[in-house]
Structure 1
């Protein structure tokens, strides 16, 4: 992404939230109005911060729609549909900080046990998707800032997926991905 494309994506996120405040729906995007590289399918997470505190974070783990639409939809969802927070208010809007993470395709990890998995983790680099049966959770690489130790990172990801922190099973699947951050 060049600087112009980054600016366009940040503007889309902001405009979609502003549109949501006025119309209760995300901004309608015509991908043809944007740079060709932003028209290709892309997976993104939009993280909103207010006073340096998380205010919402929603995203897509797989590319399934044009990136510009993915960012607009995820920004709206982060502001108004994150179940951890009340919908964003107009009074909060001017103070939001926007962080967009563009996800590279996830790759399944091979490991024989938890110790082997922990050795393979790359703090500050890896985002993880953890799955077992109906349980699924992900942490973006930015979560390493608050959970810097691999054991901690994995335990909290298990909790997020609805599993006990000490859970282990031979059916556990973990995939990793990297991101390009836009702020």
Structure 2
């Protein structure tokens, strides 16, 4: 059920993301909400990626990192891959597999 999935991910993102402090009540009126629906995930090469069009999944064995497209400050494929790899705990010397996907963003 997509409504439950959205609700569960919103709760997780706002309270359990280790990169940020949990959101508190006073912050709620200032937030801008969006929901990204991911399309099909397909294998990709470096040359096929475009951070303005595609999100990326970087994989090394069981480690996976995902980065959405069209993020402020992420202008190159290299930046996109580096951030996704760092999120997954993948180091520079580890071989990676790349996957791409498109997103429909709802505000």
The TM-score with structure 1 as length reference comes to 0.54
Question: Quick one: which of 132, 141, 159 aligns to 2:60?
Answer: 132
Q: CA offsets per residue over residues 1-58 of structure 1, 9 Å max, x none?
A: xxxxxxxxxxxxxxxxxxxxxxxxxxxxxxxxxxxxxxxxxxxxxxxxxxxxxxxxxx
8 Å CA contact retained: 2:46, 2:98 = no
- Unaligned runs of at least 5 residues, structure 2: none
In structure 1, C-alpha distance between the alignment counterparts of 2:43 and 2:46, rounded to whole Å:
14
In structure 2, C-alpha distance between the alignment counterparts of 1:120 and 1:167, rounded to whole Å:
22
1:82 is matched with which residue? Answer: 17
1:34 is matched with which residue? Answer: none
- Unaligned runs of at least 5 residues, structure 1: 1-65, 110-116
Point out 4+ residue stretches in structure 1 off by more than 3 angstroms: none
Higher relative contact order (CA 8 A, sep 6+): 2
1:104 is matched with which residue? Answer: 39
1:146 is matched with which residue? Answer: 73
Greater helix content = 1
Aligned residues: 107
